[in-house]
Chains A and B, each alone.
Chain A
Amino acid sequence: MHGLQAKELTLSYGEAIVIDRLDLTIPKGKITVFIGANGCGKSTLLRALARLLKPTSGAVLLDGKEIAKQPTKEIARRLAILPQSPTAPEGLTVLQLVKQGRYPYQTWFKQWSDEDERAVARALAATGLKELAERPVDSLSGGQRQRAWIAMTLAQETDIILLDEPTTYLDLAHQIDILDLLFELNEKERRTIVMVLHDLNLACRYAHHLVAIRNKTVYAEGKPEDVISRQLVKDVFQMDCQITYDPLFGTPLCIPYGKGRRILQKEGVS
């Protein structure tokens, strides 16, 4: 099994080392979620996996070959990245945005093919944006806008999709909407999805594989039900909590301690 791997990966901004000799293998065909405290380097790691950031040392490998040594357009046909809160030029329509996803397939001689047309239609259908195709992206709601960007990465038709905090700035209903969409893409099309999420409970629900980042490296990884514990949350987020189980899904649910109104007896939740 190859897929996407980090080998002895060290990343830094200027002098400051953010990730230090990290080894990681992203499981193929699964949803992997990076969690960690603010500033722990999880977004930096995601950017490096998508070759947006050059490693200080070590390497990112795609199917065993170093990603930095392959033509970037070829990589873009196998791996898509949706950066955090991207902005489209004013007035760009959803259709125009999604079409940009075909850029890696175009050359000086071959500008737009039937296959491009089909890929765009599939991406619009998968994200439920057919009716909004002619609308300007900046006129859409936050959730629809994020769907449009996801449609662009889908049009890239890659096996691997990386997303940096795809649910930021969305209300809870739209967060679920986006995560359901990604879950379906994984279920139906076996696409490998890697994302950074802030909400630990949603991460536990949607991830097959959880990667907790702390101290510039991987603190723990595995199935959420195997890795999430009081100790992990304490070590990774410096927060005390109780772990219980989601009454609907049975996935781990983290209830933080702290202050707040209390209408149950102390230790009332069993």
Chain B
Amino acid sequence: MLSTNRQKMVGLIGLLIVLLAAMWMSIVCGYTDTSWRQAMAALIDNNGSNAHLVVATVRLPRALIAAVVGASLAMAGALMQALTRNPLASPGIFGINAGAGFFIVVMVTFFSISSLQMLSWIAFIGAAAAAAIVFVISAAGKDGLTPLKMTLAGTAVAALFASLTQGMLAMNEKALEEVLFWLAGSVAGRKLELLTAVFPYLAAAWAGAMLLARHVNILMMGDDVAKGLGQRTNLIKAAAVLLVVLLAGGSVAVAGPIGFIGIMVPHMARALAGVDHRWLLPYCALLGGILLLMADIGARYVLMPREVPVGIVTALLGVPFFIYIARRGIAAK
């Protein structure tokens, strides 16, 4: 673990360099391998040739989306784990992916909406609606938002939306075909406009998370200690929930549900940077971006020339990791 602030800063800069390198790899690697020089030329002086077009309209948006979505999902995961004080928590626990999926399927089935731009907003609204329901249910009662109530309410709401979605898809095969691509989660085939539409919300949430970091550290010591230190814990929790909705809801809107980044990355970041969220959150952002970029590059090579949705690659990476965390948790007790 990096202990001094100086070491942590150096580590952060190192990760930033790795992130940029991964973005560059994401641009040049793939079915049509692009040379470094060509990619550079396409970015700086696009001559409209086929190769240049691939770089500017396919590869570049893909790399940017993977980096931004990976970073946002990882930060959302770290906030969720702090809020629920549960190391296995992810934004999925708030029903964010399930809510987005449900809203998408409803819209496709009943209103035949198929524009990706529209669907992305619907996904965002669905994510926010699911999280709002979870928040209201778990805030009810005398103790307010306890980690246990949040986890229970979230799991129940997520299961409800997921089963409704499956039921509707089972009855409507046409919708199934249309939304299956979306439900698998992918950073490919998305236009840059999708990202630019939600980017202001994501960027605001990044900044908000950094401002909240110090307060999250206090919350991690338990509600009583935090209240004793003069924290208005419900206010901080509500702010953290809002940030999770922006980060994870924005991500799901752009790339569909991509699992496991939110669970895995905070653990990696803690191993490097420790438990202080002022360092943990930026480490999560960079590591999350790197991991999703690498998973997406891997997705191009698993079944070459076909591509695997990146959500499946992260799941393949994530499941063993999940089991490792769970077993370590058991061993620690």
Contact = CB atoms under 8 A, between A and B. Distances in A.
Interface string B204-241: 00000001001001101110110111111000000000
A267 interface: no
A14 interface: yes
Contacts, number: 65
B188 interface: no
Contact of A81 (B217, B224, B231, B270): B224
Interface stretch (A34-42, A67-75, A210-218): A67-75
B197 interface: no
A104 B221 contact: no
Interface of A: 13-14, 47, 50-52, 71-77, 80-83, 86-92, 96-97, 100-101, 103-104, 106, 108, 111, 134, 156
Interface in B246-301: 270, 274-276
A51 B225 CA distance: 12
Contact of A103 (B211, B218, B276): B218
A100 B222 contact: no
Given A83-B224, A100-B217, A106-B214, A89 B275 contact: yes
B229 A103 contact: yes
A104 B230 contact: yes
B142 interface: yes
A230 B230 CA distance: 42
Nearest to B223: A52
A140 to B, nearest CB: 15
Given A72-B232, A73-B230, A74-B230, A83 B275 contact: no
A111 B220 CA distance: 19
If over half of B's interface residues share one DSSP class (helix, strand or loop), that class is named, otherwise mixed; here it is loop
A156 B274 contact: no
Contacts of A51: 227
Contact of A83 (B1, B3, B222): B222
B278 to A, nearest CB: 10
A47 B224 CA distance: 9
Contacts of A90: 275, 332
B229 A76 contact: yes
13 contacts: A51-B227, A52-B228, A73-B230, A81-B224, A83-B222, A83-B224, A86-B221, A87-B221, A88-B221, A91-B275, A96-B275, A100-B229, A104-B229
A81 B3 CA distance: 30
A101 B229 contact: yes
A76 B225 contact: no
Contacts of B231: 72, 103
A168 to B, nearest CB: 15
A83 B217 contact: no
Nearest to B87: A90
Contacts of A103: 218, 229-231
A97 B274 CA distance: 13
A89 to B, nearest CB: 5
Contacts of B332: 90
A186 B232 CA distance: 29
Given A14-B142, A106-B214, A111-B214, A89 B230 contact: no
Contact of A91 (B217, B229, B274): B274
B229 A86 contact: no
B142 A75 contact: no
Interface centre among B230, B270, B275 (most CB of A within 10 A): B230
